C-alpha cells in the first residue's frame, strides 16, 4: 500500500525567508510524486512532479522539490516566500506498481507573514 | 481561471432531492475523476473514468452515481444523500497515455461544487 506523510500541520514563515514543506512517502514500486497547492474556495493546482531523472525538480511560482530516495522524502522548497504563497499544500504519490490511484498527504497550511 | 469547469458552484439540497453535479474539460484528457473533500482535509478519491469507462470505484455508496456521457463531460448524480455527505466535490482530469496508464500525468482540478445537505 502507498502512503504519504506531511508531518507539519502548519508552517509559519516571514516574507522573504526560505520556505520548506516536508513530505515523506511509502510505496512498494517506483514512486510518482506530486505537489499541489489549494487556495481558499479553489480547487487544487499542480505545482510540480517527480517521475524520473534529476532529483531536483523545478515547478510553478518559483517552487522546487528534491527527491531523496534513501530518505523517501520529497520536500517542497521556495528560496524566498511571498505573502501570496499562504495556502494549503498537498503532497501526493502514485505507486507505479499499485495502479493509478493518487494518495494525498494530510496537507500543510503555510502562513507567510509580512 | 481553471481549465476544468464545475457547475454549480454551490448546491443546497434536502435528503430526498435528486440533483446532479457537472464537470467539463476541453483539454482532450481521457481520464476524469471525482473527489470528495472535507474542510482542511485532503481530497478522497471516489471514482475514476478512463476513456469514458469506469475504472475505479472506491466503494462509494450507491446514492452517488457517476456518468461519463462523452470524453469532455463527467456527471455525478446525487439521490437520498445524508448530512455527512456535505463537502466540496472536486472534479479532475488528466492525460491518459494509452490504456489505463496515466500514473505519471498531473491532474487538473476544477474549483469544485460546495454541497450542503439539509
Give chain B's length: 118
Å between A89 CA and nearest CA of chain B = 9
CA-closest candidate to residue A103, choices B115, B56, B62, B87: B56
CB B21 within 8 A of CB B11: yes
pLDDT of amino acid B115 = 97
Rounded to whole angstroms, the Cα distance separating A65 from A79 reads 11
CB A77 within 8 A of CB A92: no
**Tens digits of residue pLDDT in B77-106:** 999 999 999 999 999 999 876 555 566 788
Å between B46 CA and nearest CA of chain A = 10
pLDDT of amino acid B44 = 95
Could you identify the residue written with the cell 517506483?
Answer: A30
Rounded to whole angstroms, the Cα distance separating B76 from B95 reads 21
CA-closest candidate to residue B91, choices B37, B25, B33, B46: B33
Look at A100 and B48 and tell me if their CB atoms are within 8 Å: yes
Rounded to whole angstroms, the Cα distance separating A88 from A41 reads 11
Question: Chain B within 8 Å of A39 (Cβ-Cβ)?
Answer: no
**Tens digits of residue pLDDT in B57-77:** 999 999 999 999 999 999 999
Amino acid at each position: 500500500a502507498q502512503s504519504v506523510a506531511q508531518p507539519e500541520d502548519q508552517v509559519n514563515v516571514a516574507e522573504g525567508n526560505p520556505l520548506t514543506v516536508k513530505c515523506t512517502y511509502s510505496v512498494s514500486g517506483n514512486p510518482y510524486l506530486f505537489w499541489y497547492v489549494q487556495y481558499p474556495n479553489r480547487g487544487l493546482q499542480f505545482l510540480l512532479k517527480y517521475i524520473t531523472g534529476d532529483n531536483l525538480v523545478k515547478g510553478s511560482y518559483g517552487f522546487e522539490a528534491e527527491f531523496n530516495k534513501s530518505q523517501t522524502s520529497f520536500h517542497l522548497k521556495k528560496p524566498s516566500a511571498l505573502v501570496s504563497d499562504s495556502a494549503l499544500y498537498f503532497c501526493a504519490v502514485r505507486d507505479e506498481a499499485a495502479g493509478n490511484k493518487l494518495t494525498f498527504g494530510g496537507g500543510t497550511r503555510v502562513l507567510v507573514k509580512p | 481561471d481553471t481549465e476544468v469547469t464545475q457547475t454549480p458552484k454551490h448546491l443546497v439540497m434536502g435528503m430526498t432531492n435528486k440533483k446532479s453535479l457537472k464537470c467539463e474539460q476541453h483539454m482532450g484528457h481521457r481520464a476524469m475523476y471525482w473527489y470528495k473533500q472535507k474542510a482542511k482535509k485532503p481530497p478522497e478519491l471516489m471514482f475514476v473514468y478512463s476513456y469514458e469507462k469506469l475504472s475505479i470505484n472506491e466503494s462509494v455508496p450507491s446514492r452517488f452515481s457517476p456518468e461519463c456521457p462523452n470524453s469532455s463531460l463527467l456527471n455525478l448524480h446525487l439521490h437520498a444523500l445524508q448530512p455527512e455527505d456535505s463537502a466540496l466535490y472536486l472534479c479532475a482530469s488528466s492525460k491518459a497515455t494509452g490504456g489505463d496508464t496515466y500514473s505519471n500525468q498531473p491532474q487538473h482540478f476544477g474549483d469544485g461544487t460546495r454541497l450542503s445537505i439539509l
